[in-house]
Amino acid sequence: MPSTRSVSTRFARTCSTLLYLLVGTVACADMPAAEAPSADETPFAEEASFADKLSLADEPWFGVMLPPGFEPHALQVISNRPAAPAVVPQGESQYRELAGASIQADLETIVGFSRESEETAEVGEGQMWGRITGFPSGSKTIQWAVNEFRAAGISDVELQQFDQNEGASIWLPLSWEVRLLGDPAFGAGSADVVLESAMPLSAGDLSGGSLTAPLVYVGTATSAELAHIDVRGKVAVQKAIPQGHTVFVRSPVGPRAQDLLDRGAVAVFTIIDLPGNMRARDIGCGGGTCFNIGGRDGRFIESVMDAAAAAGTVADIRVEMHLESQRFSGLSAANGVAIVPGTSRSDEYVVLNAHADAWFDGAGDNGDGLAILVALARHFATPGMQQERSIVFVASAGHHSSGLSGPGNFVAMNPVIAERAVLVVNLEHTAQRHITPARSLHEDGYREWTMDSHEAPIVAGITNLAPFLEGLVERGIQRYGTNFVSGPNTMASGEGGTYRRLGVPVFTTMQGPPMYHTTGEVLEMVSTPGLERMARFMAFFVKEVSQAAMAQINPTSGG
Ligand SMILES: [Zn+2]
């Protein structure tokens, strides 16, 4: 949209000029020289004419560049260079079902179920979507996996249906709006700005109604910061900066949101400092009124509040919120289960699980895991590829919808497999590309993001830390170049946790990268060679496990 771009540029120039004047010069005066922004870190400032400076007071929103709006399937990451190709060890090139392009095609089909959920406004007005267990998008995904298992030539395939647990419900937002209220005090022409990336996490008292309140900025909302800030009656704006695995910020940020509500805030906005202007459904606040705000909307709020503080009008910045939401209960769902019988120990089972449910496009959580599962089913169903032990493929209903646990119902409905399983593999978020902050800044000052040639770090959790299994992970790095983190660990998050109850080792491969649970987790986020790397590694892993002695797989079992 060229016209938007030119308007944006004009805003950017006045923005940086204003910040330079109002904030930069004030801040720099108190700053050691080494910390003061250098000339090339304050772009455009030197270009501003005297006339520009005089007209600043008349620019809307203090001259701060308006946020770019929300694009549902866009990846705001620089990704011009390709991912490193997959390594195909000698003797494996004939496994064409494990080639990246083939798995990628299935991933596109899987993401298509999410796109349909959005296009048909499956939930409310369609502001959130996904492959939602208990809804048509969830059932279609499982049915697709079942069809693929059958098409692969597997005869023992079942769609195993179950109902939502009594008393359980899933909360979903149906429609909402978060609107910063314009005021001439912020510059002539300051109209309302709708923060389109806002994502409600829970309704609090807001459901079905609206609320208008002033904003108060609380930084990262530590106790040390809050000792100086009164949040009562206000919407507290805190900032979360995800690093490494995004899930790592859940525990500080969620409880701090709760703390802000306990201190009297009427709502909490959490700015998730990530690429673009994404909606993020993660990090709760214990049931109060909470919204996550995307990176560019967050940047706008922060810049405006900075400018308003310098101008003495910060107390006037107010927000109006609307939210309709609903709790859904009495739903039903299904797992797709396929069994490729073993050649000599067919009463012993290696279980491979991938959850089918997702928030938004969910290409990486867990479209990649599910596509790899289906590829592995084709691989082991090929004549001549049967292994000593039986292999069970579970396209799981997942764990996002309360009371509809995929693994829980699989274990309950398949007691023989549960009793005779020797190991469970959980494929969960395994081929997203690695993104990191870029050298470049967007014209509003927002730092851009870039990809590198490999996958985001993959945690490989082995619940019993068996040396044999750990050795397979190390060989996987050498044979296929899988980007496993270097610290051995017993992680079995996500679907893996439920399988712990079987008392056998659970092997979980899992990424938790920055796009996790956001609208930015689109197809382009997943590495096609990365899909192949993980599929080939996992085929290798399962073959080795299938012929190993029980004492190797589970040294402490005594078996
Ligand atoms: Zn997941």
Cα(508) to ligand 1 centroid in Å equals: 11
Residue 287 is predicted with a pLDDT of 84
CA dihedral 183, 188, 189, 195 (to 10 degrees): -50
Cα(189) to ligand 1 centroid in Å equals: 45
DSSP letter at 532 equals H
Cα(118) to ligand 1 centroid in Å equals: 19
Cα(295) to ligand 1 centroid in Å equals: 23
Cα(461) to ligand 1 centroid in Å equals: 15
Average pLDDT of span 111-118: 98
pLDDT at 226 over 70: yes
Helices 100-119, 368-381: inter-axial angle, 10-degree rounding: 130
pLDDT at 544 over 60: yes
Most confident of 68-77, 201-210, 531-540: 531-540
DSSP 374-430: HHHHHHHHSTT---SEEEEEEEE--SSSTT--HHHHHHHH-HHHHHHEEEEEEEES-
* Contact in structure between 295 and 196 (CB atoms under 8 Å): no
Cα(491) to ligand 1 centroid in Å equals: 14
Categorize the per-residue pLDDT at 27 as very low, low, confident or very high, splitting at 50, 70 and 90: very low
Cα(429) to ligand 1 centroid in Å equals: 6
Cα(119) to ligand 1 centroid in Å equals: 23
Residue 558 is predicted with a pLDDT of 56
pLDDT at 40 over 50: no
Cα(494) to ligand 1 centroid in Å equals: 6
Residue 57 is predicted with a pLDDT of 57
Question: What gap in Å lies between CA 211 and CA 509, rounded to an integer?
Answer: 43
Question: What gap in Å lies between CA 277 and CA 443, rounded to an integer?
Answer: 15
Query: In angstroms, how far apart are the furthest CA atoms of the chain?
Result: 85
* Contact in structure between 504 and 353 (CB atoms under 8 Å): no
Categorize the per-residue pLDDT at 203 as very low, low, confident or very high, splitting at 50, 70 and 90: confident
Output the 3-class SS for 89-104: CCCCCCCHHHCHHHHH
Average pLDDT of span 468-492: 96
Question: What gap in Å lies between CA 298 and CA 306, rounded to an integer?
Answer: 12
Average pLDDT of span 405-416: 98
Q: Is 79 helix (H, G, I), strand (E, B) or coil?
A: coil
Cα(544) to ligand 1 centroid in Å equals: 26
Q: Position of tokens 């000599």?
A: 344
Cα(140) to ligand 1 centroid in Å equals: 18
User: Lowest mean pLDDT: which of 41-45, 397-401, 417-421?
Assistant: 41-45
Average pLDDT of span 132-141: 98
pLDDT at 48 over 60: no
Cα(527) to ligand 1 centroid in Å equals: 17
235-240 and 170-180 as β-strands: parallel, antiparallel, unpaired?
Answer: unpaired
Provide the percentage of residues in the chain whose pLDDT is more than 90.
78
* Contact in structure between 380 and 542 (CB atoms under 8 Å): yes
Distance between alpha carbon 65 and the CA centroid of its chain, in Å?
Answer: 27
Helix (H) or strand (E) holding 17: helix 2-18
Cα(479) to ligand 1 centroid in Å equals: 26
User: Lowest mean pLDDT: which of 27-31, 192-196, 238-242, 306-310?
Assistant: 27-31
CA atoms within 13 A of residue 33's CA, in its CB half-sphere? 0
pLDDT at 543 over 50: yes
Residue 117, both tokens: 């959920």
Spatial neighbors of 168 by CB under 8 A, at least 6 apart, are 329, 402, 403, 404
Cα(428) to ligand 1 centroid in Å equals: 5
Average pLDDT, the chain: 89
Cα(556) to ligand 1 centroid in Å equals: 29
Cα(516) to ligand 1 centroid in Å equals: 9
Q: Is 80 helix (H, G, I), strand (E, B) or coil?
A: coil
* Contact in structure between 200 and 291 (CB atoms under 8 Å): yes
Q: Beta strands of 231-385 (E only): which ranges?
A: 235-240, 267-272, 290-293, 318-328, 332-340, 345-355, 358-359
Residue 126 is predicted with a pLDDT of 96
Closest alpha carbon to 269 in 308, 300, 224: 300
Cα(142) to ligand 1 centroid in Å equals: 15
Cα(163) to ligand 1 centroid in Å equals: 21
pLDDT at 22 over 80: no
Average pLDDT of span 384-395: 98
Residue 65, both tokens: 């560049």
Question: What gap in Å lies between CA 307 and CA 22, rounded to an integer?
Answer: 7
Burial environment of residue 395 by CB neighbours within 10 A (0 to 12, 13 to 18, 19 or more): buried
pLDDT at 55 over 80: no
DSSP letter at 24 equals I
Cα(510) to ligand 1 centroid in Å equals: 8
Categorize the per-residue pLDDT at 47 as very low, low, confident or very high, splitting at 50, 70 and 90: very low
Phi, psi at 504, each rounded to 5°: -115, 165
The tens digit of pLDDT for each residue in 146-184 reads: 999 999 999 999 999 999 999 999 999 999 999 999 999
Cα(9) to ligand 1 centroid in Å equals: 39
pLDDT at 274 over 90: no
* Contact in structure between 406 and 495 (CB atoms under 8 Å): yes
pLDDT at 11 over 50: no
Categorize the per-residue pLDDT at 313 as very low, low, confident or very high, splitting at 50, 70 and 90: confident
Cα(462) to ligand 1 centroid in Å equals: 17
User: Lowest mean pLDDT: which of 48-57, 99-108, 435-444?
Assistant: 48-57
Average pLDDT of span 73-86: 92
Residue 44 is predicted with a pLDDT of 39
Average pLDDT of span 229-244: 92
Closest alpha carbon to 514 in 312, 274, 343: 274
Average pLDDT of span 382-387: 97
Cα(234) to ligand 1 centroid in Å equals: 34
User: Lowest mean pLDDT: which of 16-20, 315-319, 371-375, 379-383?
Assistant: 16-20
Sheet of strand 421-428, all strands in order from the earlier edge strand to the far edge:
156-163, 332-340, 389-396, 345-355, 421-428, 506-510, 459-462
pLDDT at 33 over 90: no
